[in-house]
């Protein structure tokens, strides 16, 4: 079909149009579906999606569960996402974030059909969410905040015990998203299962050689990683599951670390990071520059904090900028169940206060 | 005109001739950043005036200005903002297409981001005009699409 030329415009080859469009946020690309039939099918074209993903890695968002009702802590999360520039723009204390209604999981705040328990993980902008169905069963669903599409709910396998250890990741080799679940059974034996989006069924995996300390596995480049305590060597290690081979390895933490308090691993600045408390005065973040190489750990930050007597400070680093000068972390206050989001730009802290829960994700 | 740069092997300049017959000079190191030019130099030699049929005297100086800054490592966000500040959407488009023809990656990427920024929150009609594409939907198909995604249409500003 001949493209009718507007008198003042040069003809644009398709590939060049794609170059430009792939910089746009998803919300705008969806509007542009009305331009013509070529644009309509763009968001489903794998080549374009990959192009867009590579560019949008530079634009991160925070996904936070948001308490609708502060009096009912254990129920009723809504999911909101906030862009990083927006969070950094909150300059004053006591300012509550208003989320863009575009990104809300439920438009109607009275919609009770989805009760979110937890954000399991995020990968390529896709969120995996654990929720409770109307028949009181745990289910998983996948939510894409940018295109506002939600998958069907998948029942968690039949395990009527503590099945709240889930992790979400992406297997590069088979190009599938996978959820890994850990189940501690009453009889004492443990089970690990994996769910592949596409197969839509759970499979058994080889059980963990070490039991993870924390629920949340951290996804990095086709692996899921947990902090675990090695009883024989008497030290913390990182238990890493390769999603394509479905086998485990141990990764060593920085050399010379003595007893650490409050250890955790997170993904920051596209690298696996290890955080811990130091003598109840500082919060330390290490980053593993080369995955699996013990010598490549470097200490990124040592942040001083004021310990309030009688309070337990719970920290969760959420985001580190590409050039390393901006760190956003959430601090959970046990009494008020509020989180504070701090960002250090040029190491000058500024605070914003969010009503939410310490279970946020950067996606 | 030729700068003495201690780290470069030569301070040679290359002559470029635009499609409308004007001649401009650039440093050899800047020419390296434009792969099309470099290929022509490799084929024709660096003593000859390199012909660029698809680039014109309106845009080439601007491109040269960009790469002059690039070889001294001075490209900053402020410089880039200033660089495009006074250009209208059509002027940026011409520059972008020229950067594509010249295979000048850095400028190409910067301009594609800049155009995307300009198009963000512009209307569907504006984008059609800008890319010179025709609407091949029937009115019914188009209104159905708009309705389906009504929530994505909030926040469009008036076309300039």
Q: Are B127 and B80 in contact (CB under 8 A)?
A: no
**Which residue in the block uniquely carries the two structure tokens 């389906």?**
B148
Contacts of A76 (CB under 8 A, 6+ apart): A67, A68, A69, A115
- Quickly list DSSP for B45-63: -SSSPEE-TT--TTTHHHH
**Which residue in the block uniquely carries the two structure tokens 């309070």?**
A311
DSSP A32: G
Host H or E run for residue A95: none
pLDDT digits (tens, 9 = 90+) for B112-148: 999 999 998 788 999 999 999 999 999 999 888 888 7
Contact A24 B152 (CB under 8 A): no
Q: Which of B94, B96, B97, B116 to mutate to test the interface with A (most CBs of A within 10 A)?
A: B116
Q: According to the model, what pLDDT value does residue A110 have?
A: 46
Q: According to the model, what pLDDT value does residue A153 have?
A: 75
Contact A9 B97 (CB under 8 A): no
**Residue in A230, A227, A231 with CA at minimum distance from that of residue A239:** A227
Q: Model-level pTM?
A: 0.71
Q: Are A97 and A90 in contact (CB under 8 A)?
A: yes
Q: According to the model, what pLDDT value does residue A358 have?
A: 39
Burial class of residue A142, CB neighbours in 10 A (0-12, 13-18, 19+): buried
Q: Are B26 and B13 in contact (CB under 8 A)?
A: yes
Q: Which residues of chain A have pLDDT under 70?
A: 1-10, 57-59, 64-80, 88-115, 133-134, 136, 157-164, 185-189, 307-313, 332-363
Host H or E run for residue B146: helix B139-148
Both ends of chain B: CA-CA distance in Å?
A: 41
Q: Are A225 and A216 in contact (CB under 8 A)?
A: no
Q: Show which residues on chain B lie within 8 Å of chain A, measured between beta carbons.
A: 90, 93-94, 96-97, 100, 108, 112-113, 115-117, 119-121, 124, 127-137, 142, 145-146, 149, 151-154, 156
Contact B133 A36 (CB under 8 A): yes
Query: Phi and psi of A271, rounded to 5°?
Result: -140, 155
pLDDT digits (tens, 9 = 90+) for B50-66: 999 999 999 999 999 99
**Which residue in the block uniquely carries the two structure tokens 């090695």?**
A230
Residues in A touching B113 (Cβ below 8 Å)? 23
Query: Phi and psi of B9, rounded to 5°?
Result: -75, -30
Q: According to the model, what pLDDT value does residue A120 have?
A: 84
**Residue in A341, A273, A334 with CA at minimum distance from that of residue A301:** A273
- Cα B90 to chain centroid distance, Å, stands at 11
User: How far is it, in rounded angstroms, from Cα A25 to Cα A3?
Assistant: 26
**Which residue in the block uniquely carries the two structure tokens 């489903």?**
A44
* CB atoms inside a 10 Å sphere around CB A93: 10
Alpha helices in chain A (DSSP H): 14-21, 26-31, 37-42, 46-56, 84-89
**Residue in A283, A288, A226 with CA at minimum distance from that of residue A254:** A288
Tell me the ipTM for this assembly.
0.85
Facing residue for B134 by CB, picked from A36, A40, A102:
A36
Distance from CA of A73 to the nearest CA of B (A): 30
Q: Are A98 and A111 in contact (CB under 8 A)?
A: no
Query: Phi and psi of A360, rounded to 5°?
Result: -75, 165
Host H or E run for residue A151: none
Q: According to the model, what pLDDT value does residue B131 have?
A: 92
List the 334-353 stretch of A: residues with Cβ below 8 A of B: none
pLDDT digits (tens, 9 = 90+) for A210-252: 888 877 789 999 999 999 988 888 889 999 999 999 999 999 9
* Number of Cβ pairs < 8 A linking chain A and chain B: 89
Contact A30 B137 (CB under 8 A): no
pLDDT digits (tens, 9 = 90+) for B69-112: 988 888 888 899 999 999 999 999 999 999 999 999 999 999 99
- CA pseudo-torsion sign A13, A16, A18, A20: negative
- Cα A32 to chain centroid distance, Å, stands at 28
User: How far is it, in rounded angstroms, from Cα B95 to Cα B107?
Assistant: 9
| Paired tokens of A213 | 């300390």
Distance from CA of B12 to the nearest CA of A (A): 33
Q: Are A181 and A161 in contact (CB under 8 A)?
A: no
């Amino acid at each position: 079909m001949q493209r009718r030329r507007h008198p003042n415009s040069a003809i644009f080859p398709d590939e060049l149009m794609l170059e430009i469009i792939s910089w746009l946020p998803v919300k705008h690309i969806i509007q542009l579906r009305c331009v013509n039939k070529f644009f309509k099918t763009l968001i489903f074209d794998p080549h374009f999606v990959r192009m867009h993903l590579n560019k949008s890695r530079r634009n991160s968002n925070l996904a936070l569960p948001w308490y609708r009702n502060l009096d009912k802590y254990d129920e009723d999360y809504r999911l909101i996402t906030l862009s990083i520039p927006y969070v950094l723009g909150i300059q004053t204390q006591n300012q509550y974030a208003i989320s863009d209604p575009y990104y809300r999981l439920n438009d109607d705040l009275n919609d009770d059909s989805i009760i979110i328990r937890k954000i399991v993980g995020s990968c390529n902008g896709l969120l995996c969410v654990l929720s409770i169905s109307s028949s009181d069963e745990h289910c998983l669903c996948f939510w894409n905040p940018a295109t506002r599409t939600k998958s069907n709910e998948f029942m968690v396998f039949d395990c009527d015990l503590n099945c709240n250890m889930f992790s979400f990741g992406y297997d590069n080799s088979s190009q599938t998203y996978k959820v890994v679940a850990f189940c501690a059974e009453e009889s004492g034996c443990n089970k690990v299962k994996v769910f592949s989006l596409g197969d839509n069924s759970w499979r058994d995996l080889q059980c963990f050689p070490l039991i993870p300390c924390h629920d949340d596995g951290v996804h990095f480049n086709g692996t899921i990683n947990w902090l675990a305590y090695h009883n024989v060597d008497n030290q913390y290690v990182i238990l890493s599951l390769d999603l394509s081979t479905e086998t485990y390895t141990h990764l060593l933490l920085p050399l010379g670390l003595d007893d650490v308090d409050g250890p955790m691993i997170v993904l920051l600045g596209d690298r696996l990071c290890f955080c811990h408390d130091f003598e109840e005065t500082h919060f330390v973040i290490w980053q593993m520059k080369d995955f699996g190489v013990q010598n490549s750990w470097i200490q990124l930050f040592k942040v001083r904090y004021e310990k309030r007597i009688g309070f337990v400070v719970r920290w969760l680093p959420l985001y580190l900028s590409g050039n390393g000068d901006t760190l956003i972390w959430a601090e959970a206050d046990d009494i008020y169940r509020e989180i504070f989001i701090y960002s250090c730009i040029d190491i000058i802290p500024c605070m914003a206060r969010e009503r939410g829960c310490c279970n946020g994700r950067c996606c | 005109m030729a700068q003495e740069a201690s780290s470069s092997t030569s301070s040679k300049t290359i002559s470029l001739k635009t499609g409308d017959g004007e001649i401009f000079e650039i440093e050899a190191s800047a020419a390296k950043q434009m792969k099309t030019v470099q290929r022509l130099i490799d084929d024709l030699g660096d003593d000859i005036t390199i012909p660029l049929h698809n680039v014109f005297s309106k845009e080439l100086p601007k491109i040269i200005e960009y790469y002059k800054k690039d070889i001294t490592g001075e490209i900053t966000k402020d410089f880039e903002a200033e660089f495009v500040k006074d250009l209208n959407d059509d002027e940026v488009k011409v520059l972008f297409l020229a950067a594509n023809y010249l295979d000048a990656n850095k400028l190409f990427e910067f301009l594609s981001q800049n155009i995307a920024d300009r198009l963000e929150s512009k209307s569907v009609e504006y984008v059609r005009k800008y890319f010179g594409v025709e609407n091949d939907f029937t009115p019914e198909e188009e209104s159905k699409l708009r309705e389906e995604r009504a929530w994505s249409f909030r926040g469009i500003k008036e076309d300039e």
